[in-house]
């Protein structure tokens, strides 16, 4: 069970300049996996928010009772809070977080839309075909035990950077599948500049998830980065710093923030 006591699973907020970044964590995880990149981006003067999705950092039973619209609503609230203090916002999502980032961008096409999207390991096509049978959980409660936080992680120290549940409720998987089907249909509505990050060693998703997003979105400015030495959660694995740098570079091309603090001096974290 990857719920190491030295990790902080709480949401975070780093105040900075007028360019904002919203970081959305993955399924059964916590803001923990987004925090190191959040600190890195904050050191360049960005205002960074890492919200907590409902049903996460609590209990598996709590997650089982949640709907995908609750996750979407939480992301919307965090985005609004960031938009009230920033001129532009880049939305970065990991796995489930990528689905929520796409849903947010499609819903806000005419109302303070994101300046850019970074979709890390977008959960478009799940590798395990049994996941698609999660609809059965609507009538029969199912819970899948996961022995490791990520069996496909390359860095032997990566598990020490992960906070997640040791079991996955079938009802919650069903909610992810519902959101996934919705998001596939929303991809043509995405026009914001988009960076997609996929790893060839990702055992949780089919690699075609990345190219599928690239083909379907309507963005004129889009780029895909392929990794070869990371598992599904690339933000805790061997190439994590490369992802931070790629994200920062992509954001930097699209936003400017004259009022930002100097690099290397992030704002003090506000705990929520």
Q: What tokens were used for 117?
A: 């999207």
CA distance 56 to 63: 6
pLDDT tens-digit map of 208-241: 999 999 999 999 999 999 999 999 999 999 999 9
Contact 94, 121 (CB under 8 A): yes
- Torsional class of 143: left (φ above 0), alpha (ψ -120 to 50), beta (otherwise): beta
pTM tops 0.85 = yes
Q: CATH code for 12-257?
A: 3.40.50.1820
Domain assignments of the chain as residue spans, ordered by start: 12-257
Q: What is the pLDDT of residues 238-269, one digit of tens each?
A: 999 999 999 999 998 887 543 344 344 455 56
């Amino acid at each position: 069970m990857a719920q190491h006591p030295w990790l902080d699973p709480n949401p975070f907020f780093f105040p900075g300049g007028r360019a904002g970044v919203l970081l959305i964590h993955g399924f059964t995880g916590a803001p923990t996996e987004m925090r190191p990149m959040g600190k890195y981006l904050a050191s360049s003067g960005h205002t960074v928010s890492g919200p907590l999705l409902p049903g996460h950092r609590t209990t598996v039973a709590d997650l089982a009772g949640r709907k995908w619209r609750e996750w979407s609503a939480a992301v919307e609230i965090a985005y609004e809070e960031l938009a009230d203090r920033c001129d532009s916002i880049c939305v970065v999502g990991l796995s489930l977080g990528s689905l929520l980032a796409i849903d947010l961008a499609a819903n806000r096409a005419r109302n303070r839309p994101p300046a850019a999207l970074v979709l890390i390991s977008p959960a478009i096509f799940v590798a395990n075909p049994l996941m698609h049978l999660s609809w059965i959980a609507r009538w029969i409660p199912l819970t899948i035990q996961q022995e490791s936080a990520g069996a496909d992680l390359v860095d032997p120290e990566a598990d020490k950077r992960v906070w997640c549940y040791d079991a996955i409720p079938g009802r919650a998987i069903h909610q992810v599948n519902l959101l996934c089907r919705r998001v596939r249909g929303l991809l043509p509505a995405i026009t914001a500049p988009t960076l997609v990050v996929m790893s060839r060693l990702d055992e949780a998703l089919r690699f075609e998830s990345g190219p599928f997003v690239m083909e379907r979105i309507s963005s004129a400015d889009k780029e895909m980065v392929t990794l070869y030495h990371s598992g599904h959660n690339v933000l805790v694995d061997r190439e994590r710093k490369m992802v931070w740098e790629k994200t920062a570079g992509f954001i930097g091309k699209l936003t400017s923030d004259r009022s930002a603090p100097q690099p290397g001096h992030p704002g003090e974290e506000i705990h929520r």
